[in-house]
Amino acid sequence: MIQAIYYIILIYFLLGGIGFYFINRKKDPAVAKESYTKFGVYFLIINALFFSITINSSIFHLLTIVITVGGLFELLKLFRNSGFQKKEFFAISLLIFAILSAGFIAFGGLEKGLILFAFLVLSIFDSFSQIIGQLWGRKKLFPEISPKKTVGGLVGGASVALASSYLLKDLYAGETLDALVLAIGVIAFAFAGDLSASFYKRKFTVKDFSRLIPGHGGLLDRFDSLIAGGAWVALYILVFNF
């Protein structure tokens, strides 16, 4: 089954690659190169996380800690670089991040099939919301916070992710309805996490958290949705499957 799922992932990446071609074909070569770099690095990250879950999920659990610690340093770095301004906003942000991080780390210790289900739904939503949004998205959702997010991207990405959750439901031991509710929560939290990270950057007037990952704006820029989505899964399991 894992092999079949990996083939599905490769098909999705092929479709994503085609989408990126149409997105970038008329762009300036430098901009297109950065976009393809982001796509290539994202492919490597998804593969690394996928195999860390499927081969030995304890490796993924360790990665949740590494991502959390790295994200904390990025939050602190922006606060320090601002001259320690906006102290109240930073304190609230730090509290929210601590709560989500605790949930994310707990998520990393859950059953392997559940982790994989949530991770794949989230990754599909994250990927296709960007691709569909850039291809067909017109109406901006939050232009002052995250100018690239569109209604079309959100609806398109969520639709593909929810349809995929039905195909992947056997990874989750619960009922089909439970899997759907879980997937909806993952999408909602992932979107909120991504938006919150963008809001934090806007507050400190920076474009990126760091340049640690080529083509991406730092660890939080890449993993903000995963942290929030993982926290939702841990909460869902705690409340409804105690």
- Tens-digit pLDDT profile for residues 25-44: 888 888 788 888 888 999 99
The predicted structure's pLDDT at residue 68:
97
The predicted structure's pLDDT at residue 134:
87
Secondary structure class of 140 (helix, strand, coil): strand
- C-alpha–C-alpha distance, residues 168 and 161, integer Å: 10
The predicted structure's pLDDT at residue 223:
95
Position 224 confidence tier, pLDDT thresholds 50, 70, 90: very high
Rg (CA), the chain: 17
Cα distances (angstroms) measured from residue 38 to each of 4, 134, 216, 218: 26, 14, 6, 12
How far from chain centre, in Å, is Cα 108? 15
- Range 141-150 average pLDDT: 87
**Structure token pair of residue 220:** 């939080």
- C-alpha–C-alpha distance, residues 176 and 184, integer Å: 12
